[in-house]
Amino acid sequence: MSGGRAAALLLVGVLIGGISGGAAATYLTHRADESPGQPAVNVGLPIATTAPPTSGGFDDEIVGVVQELLPSVVTIINYATNGQPQSSGSGFVVDAANGYLVTNNHVVEDTRTSGTGASFDVVFSNDKKTSAKLVGRDPFTDIAVLQVQAQGLKAATLANSDNVPVGALTVAIGSPLGEFQNTVTHGIVSAKGRRVAETSQVVLEDLIQTDAPINPGNSGGPLLWAATRQVIGVNTLGVTQATGINFAVSSNTVKQVADEIIANGKVVRGYLGIQYTPLTTRQAAQLGLATGTVGIVVSQVVPGSPAEQAGIQANDIITKVNDQVIDADHPLSSLLVKNRPGDKVKLTLIRSGKEMTVDVSLGQPPQ
């Protein structure tokens, strides 16, 4: 399993929807009524020779979106430095003219380190295979961008995910287990605005919840709104101990992050300039703080940083960012994930037992 992350709280069993290990298992099937050396019996049952009439509605909606967008979906093979496949996932074309594809960050990661795979291949729905280069990735939103030669590509359109209603019909396309390419599943939008912790410092925000099955290898593939034939999310993870609880990074988040990666090769977030540790229950009690006080303790302020310019000091206890409490479910990095250099944030802090607020204009991170 690439990524190998477990979600916090009730989502301890969250399963990242990529698949690692290179070669997937091969599944063999046989007909139970056949035996070796015996010819098959033709019982003369009639079979239709003409296509059935179109029924309209549900079936046509699913068939239509699959026929239109299947050529946009790809299988991504991630190779280790020794040239062996180490994991695989899915992705889709977002810019046909320039050959840009979107997938998950954990699809392109090295399965043994926090770095990236050595090289990548992309396989299209027509089995055409080509090499791809990594443009950039963002672990904090689990989004990555690859680029292939722009020749005869078909792009999928990103929807405004704010517009998709709960209950809308969804279709997911990907390559589960790295073997069953071009697999289609369907469901509905179960909820919006979900947040799930991937690690203690990475909390994925603004997720779309769906009951469309998302299996290992589906990671990075599109979640489609059948009615509009547009992408509303990037399939990312599912809950192993529950049926029908799966998540996709919203297309609005995907657009923002992918645009930045394409422009800059990375996402540049606003820089605060502090080192800190979580406030423990014992520390809070020793400092005489109210029961239940949570936050972080500033251990060092970087000279010349935005934090120093705003007057933040060592031993300050920062409890909130823009009125959102900092705790295990809302780490500082998650609360600042959408902020860019130049953005102003309000910090609530406790100094010498007194609460105050400080406005900080975030800066450029040091090179």
* Residue 154 DSSP one-character state: -
Please state, in angstroms and rounded to a whole number, the distance separating the CA atoms of residues 121 and 205: 29
| Mean of pLDDT values over 150-169 | 93
Q: Minimum mean pLDDT among 2-6, 73-77, 79-83, 284-288: which range?
A: 2-6
In terms of DSSP H, where are the helices of 145-280? 251-264
* Residue 200 DSSP one-character state: S
End-to-end CA distance of the chain: give it in Å, rounded.
33
At 131, the pLDDT band (50, 70, 90 cuts) reads: very high
Fold of 1-22+57-267: Thrombin, subunit H (2.40.10)
Reply yes or no on whether the pLDDT at 344 is more than 50.
yes
CATH H-level superfamily of 274-361: PDZ domain (2.30.42.10)
Of the listed 88, 219, 250, 334, which one is catalytic? 219
The model scores a pTM over 0.75? yes
For the chain, residues classed under CATH 2.30.42.10 are 274-361
For the chain, residues classed under CATH 2.40.10.120 are 1-22+57-267
Nearest to 185 by CA among 207, 209, 220, 214: 214
pLDDT digits (tens, 9 = 90+) for 95-130: 999 999 999 999 999 988 878 999 999 999 999 999
Which residues face 189 on adjacent strands?
210
Q: Which range in 42-51, 202-211, 227-236 is most confidently predicted, on average pLDDT?
A: 227-236
pLDDT, mean over the chain = 84
Please state, in angstroms and rounded to a whole number, the distance separating the CA atoms of residues 249 and 263: 20
Nearest to 226 by CA among 363, 87, 64, 91: 64
Of the listed 106, 138, 190, 251, which one is catalytic? 106
Give the pLDDT confidence score for residue 47 in this predicted structure.
52
Q: Is 142 a catalytic residue?
A: yes
At 12, the pLDDT band (50, 70, 90 cuts) reads: very low
In terms of DSSP H, where are the helices of the chain? 58-69, 105-108, 251-264, 281-286, 306-309, 332-335
Reply yes or no on whether the pLDDT at 35 is more than 60.
no
The number of C-alpha atoms within 13 Å of 78 and in the hemisphere containing its C-beta is 33
Reply yes or no on whether the pLDDT at 201 is more than 80.
no
Please state, in angstroms and rounded to a whole number, the distance separating the CA atoms of residues 345 and 130: 44
Of the listed 72, 88, 142, 175, which one is catalytic? 142
The number of C-alpha atoms within 13 Å of 356 and in the hemisphere containing its C-beta is 11
Reply yes or no on whether the pLDDT at 55 is more than 90.
no
| Mean of pLDDT values over 134-148 | 95
**Inter-residue long-range contacts of 276-284, CB under 8 Å, 24+ positions, other chains counted:** 276/318, 276/332, 278/328, 279/317
Nearest to 27 by CA among 171, 176, 246: 176
